[in-house]
């Protein structure tokens, strides 16, 4: 359905808006937010998402209240 709509003049804008709104609505659900926060051990402060309708790709950026420490690489022994 989305591919059909995307072929119309306003289609890419409509599909982009629909997908963006859908993702943001998911994270307004307190149960979903809590599950994410419990998983990473930090509070979700902001969520950014974007979609490229032409290439059918998506990106979501999660901003937490503290660094998660995932950017460091530690060698042991």
Phi, psi of 32 (to 5 degrees): -65, -45
3 and 14 Cβ atoms separated by less than 8 Å: no
In a domain, 39, yes or no: yes
Which tokens in the block code for residue 67? 């660094």
Number of H helices, E strands in the chain: 3, 2
pTM of the entire predicted model: 0.68
pLDDT in tens, 31-51: 999 999 999 999 999 999 988
User: Given a cut of 60, is residue 74 above it in pLDDT?
Assistant: no
Angle at 20 between CA 45 and CA 22, to 5 degrees: 90
Range of the domain at 45: 2-64
In a domain, 47, yes or no: yes
In a domain, 41, yes or no: yes
In a domain, 32, yes or no: yes
Round the average pLDDT of the chain to a whole number and report it.
84
**What total number of domains does the chain contain?**
1
């Amino acid at each position: 359905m989305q591919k059909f709509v995307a072929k119309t003049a306003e289609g890419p804008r409509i599909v982009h808006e629909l997908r963006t709104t859908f993702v943001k609505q998911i994270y307004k659900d307190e149960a979903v937010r809590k599950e994410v926060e419990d998983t990473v051990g930090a509070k979700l402060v902001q969520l950014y998402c974007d979609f490229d309708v032409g290439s059918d790709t998506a990106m979501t950026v999660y901003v937490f209240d503290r660094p998660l420490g995932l950017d460091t690489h530690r060698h042991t022994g």
